[in-house]
Amino acid sequence: MQCQCQQQQSDLSLLAPVLKEYAAVPGSLITILQHAQEIYGYLPTDVIYHIAEQTGTTPARVMGVATFYTQFRFQPVGKYLIMLCDGTACHVNGSSRIAAAVQEYLHVENGGTTADGLFSFSIVACLGCCSLSPVMMINEDTYGSLTPAKVLDILKEIQAKEGAA
């Protein structure tokens, strides 16, 4: 039985080239999920059902794999995904102060998205830029040697670029 709560209408044709390349290749489920997330920004339920159907497995197994890995999201994310590192070096060098500054300024919880949909905020394990700690990534750009003041400047710059308040 298909889940009745599937109100989503994702454009499944976008995933067709990915499925064509990988659906029959054993062991490719994670790769397919990564491509799907790149396309849709997250993993919508109807996409998960579609992947299960096309790869000849169950939605439960696809969900089981997807939920195991921190990379996969099941809610849409903001245009800018802030990943604040809380690895050992960043932790020792005060990443919690940076987290507090971001949360206070953007009114966003760890794992949440701002009301305007511009930013999502996530505290993550080590990003591997320890000598610049504390560090964060916004999408694919890395920012180091952060202070609460510096992080606000970075966020304000993005907001200005996007014409937000």
Nearer to another protein, 15 or 129 (CB): 129
Q: Does 17 bind another protein (CB under 8 A)?
A: no
Sheet of 136-138: strands edge to edge? 119-124, 80-85, 136-138, 141-143
End-to-end CA distance of the chain, in Å?
A: 46
Figure out which of the listed residues 8, 11, 20, 31 binds another protein, where binding follows CB under 8 A.
Answer: 31
Q: Does 103 bind another protein (CB under 8 A)?
A: no
Q: What part of residues 117-156 is at the interface with another protein (CB under 8 A)?
A: 124-133, 135, 137, 140-145
What string marks each residue from 46 to 85 as x (binds another protein by CB under 8 A) or -?
A: ------------------xx--xxxxx-------------
- List strand residue ranges (DSSP E) for the chain, in order: 80-85, 119-124, 136-138, 141-143
Distance of alpha carbon 47 from alpha carbon 35, whole angstroms: 11
Catalog residues that contact another protein under the rule CB under 8 A: 26-31, 33-34, 64-65, 68-72, 86-89, 91-93, 124-133, 135, 137, 140-145
